[in-house]
Chains A and B, each alone.
Chain A
Amino acid sequence: MNSYLPEYFKEFELIWESRDTYTIHLPKENPGKAGQFYMLSSPGIGEAPISVASGHLREMLFTIRSVGTVTSKLPDARVIGVRGPYGTSWPWERYGKILAVAGGIGIPPINSLFDEMVGTGRGKDLEIIYGARSPSDLIYHKQRKEWAKMANVIITVDKGDPNWKGNVGFVTQFISKSETDRDGAVFIIGPPLMMKNSVAESLEAGFRPENIYLSLERRMECGIGVCGHCNVGEFYACEDGPIFQYSAVKHLPELFL
């Protein structure tokens, strides 16, 4: 069997979430778990690793920011190929309470996490801190309302605008005020600097290193641990990650960019 072969979809839905972010909805059940990723592709455009934005066994959703050579072209694709799921997932089942901290385009795997936790009746065990650069960069308006019904949700922006009435500040500022008890887990995903500072804040706030989990972004091309691009220390981010336990990787000098 050729593991590089994607399953192709001619029928799919494209939803714009913001000026540069869109969601691809595929009519297929997601066998993967929150935190895992798939290789999304289109013939002639190329492949990109994308975390799944919907929960286990829901229909597949991928929310993508148009930044790279592939992701900027996928909205125009007629056919979407998908292979996966790959990598590790958020180990939420092991913990009583979960604090999820997401920055920018790190939010989709947290939506997937919410899906899964709500699905097993544990939505109330989740607390979400979600930050973006500006109000117009915040996505998931509908989903945010769903989260808020169950979970404690903090939304913040780095810089507000005249209409913005909510929090202004980095996500890190809200970690110490988290309602999640300190035996719970912290799941962190976002830009490198945000993750680095969030880890420091989480430790400061009393969370234990072995209970902190990170989703590492690296250049990934094969998804199956053979192309070598995502090497980080003794790990490959695509197969040993993307979700890493902080205590297992904190010794790596190249952990954050």
Chain B
Amino acid sequence: MNYILTDEDMKILFSRIKEEYDTYGTVEKEGDIVYEKVDGFESITFGRSRYAPKEFLIERNENVLNLPVQQKKAVFGVMSCDLKGFYVMDKQILGKDPFYTQRRQNTLFVNFPCNVECEGGFCSSFGGPLLDEFQIQVARDGDDFIVSASKEYEHLFDGFRKTGDEQIRKLRKNFLKNAKQLPVEGIENRIKWDSKLWKKYSSVCISCGACNYSCPTCYCFDLFDQDDGRIREWDSCILSGFTSTSAGNVRKELDERLRQRFYHKFVYYRKSQGEYLCTGCNRCTEDCPVDIDIKEVVTHDYSSE
């Protein structure tokens, strides 16, 4: 159901949510927008957060032998591209990983769709920021907040003005009108195993892992023992140790590992889960120290190679 809320209404909605959840939101810190605990809707900064809020569901490192009771958290100001990452990775890990699953069930993400596509981003290629799957989605149309709630959150909207789908449709149309809309569809058939792109990338890649760490859909982790704990820590498929075994390494060379990352995103996951493991957020490109641009993998003319 969709509702039209004023700024005052948003404050009321926030306080209703706050009764049930610990509330977090996007705030500015020395020019970067980060997530912090917030007490009121007025503390929230609208804008592009410096990072995807992946840590709310997958801690950077934690002991898997100790599954804590999860607090209920509500996170305001999530970008749609980041949120979509969770829906995409749900398909592989929800229900399997108990940490992710319990946090997913106890976390309410309130996403704020952008009204125009950001400079580097290409979420329009995946349908744009007005998502079909969400918990509470807060779009802005002038001074109005067009808030969509999935069924289990409708009780929070008692007394607010209901509306139809029209404004959402209009916002979506406006967004897509001036957006990149890259030809992602079918990339799994166009992309080439021995494309020259991979060696071009490996000649400059410094194996920093930023593309994985910044990605709202990368969920891989390493598991190792430390004292009495068994620690999982965010891992990166760009590193050679990611696949090394005593029998050898299936991806010894950096170009093979970079190709694997793009193949997993655009070919393998599409085959296994029916989705691309990418939401067009552009964070990997933004955090890449040598400007490897994931958009090039999508738009590159493989047929000429």
Contacts and interface: CB of A to CB of B under 8 A. Distances in A.
A and B in direct contact, judged by CB atoms within 8 A:
yes
Nearest to B229: A43
Contacts of A227: 220-223, 232, 235
Task: Give the contact-size bracket for chain B.
Answer: 35 or more
B98 A231 contact: no
B243 A229 contact: yes
B24 interface: no
Contacts of B269: 234
Given A2-B64, A41-B230, A224 B97 contact: yes
Given A219-B245, A226-B96, A257-B247, A233 B268 contact: yes
Contacts of A71: 246
A162 interface: no
Nearest to A4: B64
Interface stretch (A44-52, A112-120, A140-148, A205-213): A44-52
Contact of A1 (B98, B222, B243, B251): B98
Contacts of A4: 64-65, 67, 98, 230
A66 to B, nearest CB: 10
B191 to A, nearest CB: 13
Contact of B98 (A2, A225, A229, A257): A2
A41 B229 CA distance: 12
Interface in A178-211: 191-192
Contacts of A163: none
A219 B245 CA distance: 6
A218 B245 contact: yes
A191 B268 CA distance: 25
Task: Give the contact-size bracket for chain A.
Answer: 35 or more
Contacts of A47: 223, 225, 230
B242 interface: yes
A197 to B, nearest CB: 15
A225 B93 CA distance: 7
Of residues A2, A67, A226, A235, which shows the largest number of chain B Cβ atoms within 10 Å of its Cβ?
A226
Interface in A1-43: 1-5, 41, 43
B227 interface: yes
Nearest to B252: A257
B100 interface: yes
B130 to A, nearest CB: 29
Contact of B219 (A5, A67, A228): A228
Contacts, number: 101
B225 A46 contact: yes
A46 B264 contact: no
Contacts of B97: 3, 222, 224, 226
B248 A219 contact: no
B248 A234 contact: no
A27 B93 CA distance: 32
B193 interface: yes
Contacts of B64: 2, 4
Contact of B242 (A224, A229, A232, A257): A229
A42 to B, nearest CB: 8
B250 A226 contact: no
A2 B69 CA distance: 11
Nearest to A72: B246
Contacts of A5: 65
A257 B248 CA distance: 7
B261 to A, nearest CB: 10
B195 interface: no
A221 B98 contact: no
Interface in B84-105: 92-93, 96-98, 100
A254 interface: yes
Interface of A: 1-5, 41, 43-47, 67-68, 71, 191-192, 217-219, 221-222, 224-229, 231-235, 253-254, 257
Given A219-B245, A235-B272, 4 more contacts: A4-B64, A4-B230, A227-B235, A257-B247
Interface of B: 64-65, 67, 92-93, 96-98, 100, 193, 219-225, 227-228, 230, 232, 235, 237, 242-251, 260, 264, 267-269, 271-272
11 contacts: A3-B98, A41-B230, A46-B223, A68-B245, A191-B247, A227-B221, A228-B235, A229-B242, A231-B237, A234-B269, A253-B193
